A = this chain, B = another copy of it.
Amino acid sequence: METYTAMVMEEAGSVPRPEPRPVHEPGRDEAVVRVRASSMNFHDLVNLLGMIDGPWPRVPMSDGAGEVVAVGERVRGLEVGDRVTGAFLPRWSHGPPGPEVERYVPGDAGDGWLQQYARFPAAALVPVPVHLTDLEAATLPCAGTTAWSALRAGSVKAGDVVVCLGTGGVSLLALQLAKAHGAEVVLTSSSDEKLRVGESLGADHLVNYRSTPDWDRAVRAATGGRGADLVLDVGGADTLPRSVRAVRRAGMVVVVGAVSGADTAEVSIFDVMGRNVHLVGITVGSVADHAACCRAVELHRIHPPISHTLDWTEIGEAMRAMQAHEHVGKIALRIS
Interface set of A (CB-CB < 8 Å, partner B)? 93-101, 152, 155-159, 177, 180-182, 184, 226, 236-237, 240-241, 248-250, 255-258, 262-283, 288, 292, 295-296, 299-300
Contacts and interface: CB of A to CB of B under 8 A. Distances in A.
A272 B278 CA distance: 12
**Identical chains bound together, number:** 4
Chain B CB within 10 A, most for which of A157, A295, A296: A157
B270 A263 contact: yes
Contacts of A157: 152, 155-156, 181, 292, 296
A279 B282 CA distance: 12
Contact of A182 (B264, B274, B283, B299): B299
28 contacts: A94-B98, A95-B96, A98-B250, A98-B288, A99-B249, A101-B249, A152-B157, A158-B177, A159-B180, A159-B295, A180-B182, A181-B181, A181-B182, A182-B296, A241-B264, A255-B269, A255-B272, A258-B269, A258-B270, A262-B269, A264-B267, A264-B268, A267-B267, A271-B281, A273-B283, A274-B283, A275-B281, A278-B279
A159 B96 CA distance: 18
A76 to B, nearest CB: 10
A240 B269 contact: yes
Nearest to A302: B158
Nearest to A177: B158
A266 to B, nearest CB: 4
A255 B270 CA distance: 9
Given A93-B95, A264-B268, A275-B281, 6 more contacts: A98-B249, A157-B292, A159-B299, A240-B267, A264-B266, A265-B267
A150 B207 CA distance: 35
A262 B240 CA distance: 18
A193 to B, nearest CB: 27
A273 B258 contact: yes
Given A272-B255, A281-B275, A281-B277, A96 B300 contact: no
Nearest to A240: B269
A273 B296 contact: no
B280 A99 contact: no
A278 B153 CA distance: 10
A273 B271 CA distance: 20
A255 to B, nearest CB: 5
Contacts of A265: 266-267, 269
Nearest to A95: B95
A177 B158 CA distance: 8
Contacts of A236: 269
A105 to B, nearest CB: 12
